[in-house]
Structure 1
Amino acid sequence: MASVTGMAQKQLNDFKYIIVPKKFDGFKKQNQYQTSTLVKHLFAEKGFETAYEEDLPMELNANRCLGLTVSLVDDSSMFTTKTALMLKDCQGKEILATQEGKSKEKDFKDSYNEAIREAFKSVQTLNYVYSGKAENSAPITVSFANDVKDTKKPKNAKSMVEQQATVENQSFKDHSPKHSDFTKGEEKRETVKQMATREQQSYVDKTPKPSNVKSSNSKDQLKISNAKPSNDVLYAQELENGYQLVDSTPQIVLKLKKTSVPDYYLAEGDDRSGTVFMNEEKWYFEYYLGGELVTEELDIKF
């Protein structure tokens, strides 16, 4: 791992942005232990323009070479958190690697905070001033304009008009394409078929008729009138794959898991399991109790 040298200082000044991942490698969740927000804050405090990897400014999105991507090098053991910060350019070349920060704090959030701040001391010693060099080395754009030149018509190209005017022969032939009155059969499909002879009298109307069949997801089919009214207000707390609903105690009443259908969740409680869904701007909980379907109206605050 390269150390922080005078050359690294000079190279660092060539870049305007620090790109911070919302989830560092090795972590299961975004901003776990507040690592991403801490790293972004430290670089911003040092004078860098910072941006999350999924939310780049227009200038950086057009030219990724304006920025360096920071990664967290995690070499932690069971009892010690060990981390270092590494900066790479748009081609994956390592520009700077900090010293390793260490912490023996038992709480992960506290230990990563302490270790990252210690590692960042390597950057604190540098006098960063953006030189503007990266803006002058934008990606080369290749233009194919004027690559195709006009070509001469072949000498033997067949003329649309063939004519001869001599004393012996007088002739004129026009080979230009003629407009056709032919129309596709699909366009002349009959919508009415009828027969009127002495032997047969018939009339069949094939014009498309409007259908009275309604879509299966029509809101008119979801009228709920026998729902039990809600007794308490439930507050939704977001989880990784859904929500948990708690009352004012606070006690967890239900856990909701997302499905592929909007506003439709699989619900689990202490002694009940079913579905929670929205219908006509109201939330309902449906489950089976003793073989009978029970519908409860819920008052949920998100």
Structure 2
Amino acid sequence: MKLKVVYILLFAVGFSTAMKAQLNDYKYIIVPKSFSIFKKENEYQTSTLIKHYFVQNGFNAVYEDELPDDLITNRCLGLEADLINNSSLFTTKTSIALKDCHNVEVFRSLEGTSKIKEYAGAYKEAIQQAFVSFAGLDYSYQPKQTETPKDPVVISFKDDVKTVVEKEKDKVVEQKATTEEQVYKSVEPRPSNFTKSLPTEGAKPVTVDLLYAQPIENGYQLVDSTPKVVLKLESTSMDNVFLTQFEGNNAVVFNKDGKWILEYQENGNKHQKELNIKF
């Protein structure tokens, strides 16, 4: 299915708790300076774009030649990003794959597409669309808990009789003040660029009245009681996630906690509106 949205925002997709937890096991996303599908480094700014969108979605993305010390020591702290190219003659098609330190693919995004003829613009649009898969994951690194080895038990075979000569000692919890074994999580509020959506002069506001979903090719159109078409929704491969256009901006409509939400970006800020839709 063809995707047309140019930019997909945070909180647009409700992935399962299992997938969220799986990515939370990894501290870093490693972005190559050159992907195997290209001959030049950072061709069409693909590496720059992918690192930028990972950071925008809350991940700690680093270039492969700028690894922090703990990642150099333990490569399994990170997932390596790869750009998958399934382009045809007239359509650019890309997806983002993440592989662990054993080269096992643990995640692959939706496929983003573009019909822009110019390569730089086409890859930018397709990559932006692919990042719909990372929106709304609310990623937060959670280190895996390692099992503390138990004190060894010494067995004596003196006089051919097996006896435990050392009782298990009282366990003492030792607090280690090392950067590798002590993690701090800030409870301070994090800044957000979400703002309340304000009416734009001359723009067509989305009504809070009931909207009726009428099936059309590849999705639905939402009409009010006039009847007037308010929005056209294009289906995706995910349930309850649709692509649309709102006030000249690319947007997404999705169902969260039983409510239909319209989300879009305007002047660098993210906006959300609740819709009253009857299917």
Question: Which bracket does the TM-score occupy, shorter chain normalised?
Answer: 0.3 to 0.5
Q: Which protein has greater RCO, CA pairs closer than 8 Å, 6+ apart?
A: 2
Higher alpha-carbon Rg: 1
State TM-score, norm by structure 1: 0.42
